[in-house]
Chains A and B, each alone.
Chain A
Amino acid sequence: MILKQLKTGFLVFVLLTLLTGAIYPLTMTALAQKFFPSQANGSLIRQDGKVVGSSLIGQNFGDPKYLWGRPSATAPIPYNGSSSGGSNLGPLNPTLRNIIEARIKKLKNADPENITPVPVDLVTASASGLDPHVSPAAAFYQVPRVARLRKMPEGEVQKIIRRYTTARFLGLGGEPVVNVLRVNLELDRYGNKTKS
């Protein structure tokens, strides 16, 4: 009985493997590439013919003239696209406290005049280490700094932030977020425009 079952099992396994492991993913790839080529290939952002990022994957910004995103815990460098990961630090871990204190300090040093409390998502590491967004609160918190360093009116910076803010899905799902990379690309473009 077992020998016959073995043979049957092997043949069923081969068929189902071909169906679910080859035909299915290949069909889905063909459909995806036909109907949603941009999304299927990583939602890339191109500028002057070269890929400058993905609208879904954040980049590391530490220069005070840029909007900063979520802290990233990926190793060995932040926002490492080939190795996603969170900090996995427990809520009471002293290391977490020290890291966050250092982040607050860095924010304050870059903009000593800002005395409003820091929004929590701006000093806590994201789950993926690749979070492309910050909350609107975290973005607006940085407006005075960015505007001053870029010699832009604060209103212009706010306008750019609003343009790249996504509301909740149907006013209900998820959270409103600001795409950090898109804002920074636009800030650079604004700078170039006013120069020329």
Chain B
Amino acid sequence: MGDMSKRRICSFLLTAMVVLLIVETIACTAIGAADISFMDALKAVAFKINFLKGIISKSGIKESTVTIITGIRLPRVILAAFIGSALPVAGASYQGLFKNSLADPYIVGASSGGALGAAIAIIIKSKLGISGFSMVPFFAFAGALISTYVVYILGRIGGKLSITAMMLSGIAVNSMLSAVLSMLLLFNHEQMDQVIMWTMGSLQYAGWEQIEIVAPCIVAGIAVMYFFSRDLNLMMLGEEQAQHLGVNTKKLKKTILFAGAFITGVSVSVSGIIGFVGVFIPHIARILLGPDNRLTIPFSAIFGAMFLMIADSLARTLISPMEIPVGVLTAGVGGPFFIYLLLKNKNSIE
């Protein structure tokens, strides 16, 4: 932090990562059941971008290729990128806020609240015969927010916000909400498949219409987190220190908790519960770049996007034509990593 040359290196690195991210996006769209080359995928994607339309000749690419790439794969890959960037940013911010590298919106109840909200929306929709998508994110967001708020209230019993109390009540709220979700499923078999997807995490219903809703929300959420990244650095010295260095910590806590629940809820509404990305991606960013949140937050977004794009490409191709829910993959990688973190931090969880 502070060192001029270091800052220049970091902005160069960030630019390089963005370029890499775009290349990866194209590469991921080329992966799949139908055999499409990288160049064809690139052309098809370029064709989708309006101002390039005139420059790119469509010769040699089948119409079906363009449809597969821009209609099916590209939205899915892009959605993976957005969600992959949202969850680690929320995680990194919570970790700074709580001064604890294990904190994550999921752990404090946002995921199960979001999933329950989404399930309720799906069931209401089918019961009332409403079509359209927009209700689901709203309910997921409300669910995530309410559960986070409940956990926050439980965590500050006795006046001061205690991390341990908040994490413990997060576990309790998570399991309670999962129980309610299971009950809902029992009584609504028809929506079973769709709701189960939410609990396992999958991007198979991705489409452009989801991106239109989710992308602005996530971009706004990440911007808020970045806006407060310096305050989050001070928070890592301890709440009292942050206060004495001029941070309005009460306001900061509310803003970060709200923004975190917001982007988590919105993500959960389209992808279900994709676990652990929020914990281990920021950790990797910190190992590589140090603890400064002004770096951790943007780089977590990029690393997370890259990671989830690859994970989702694997999820849809590994045992093709069947799909592995991507949440199963990330939990498979993230679970052991989480345990490793727990063991390593055993003495500093308080």
> Are chains A and B native binding partners rather than an unrelated pairing?
no
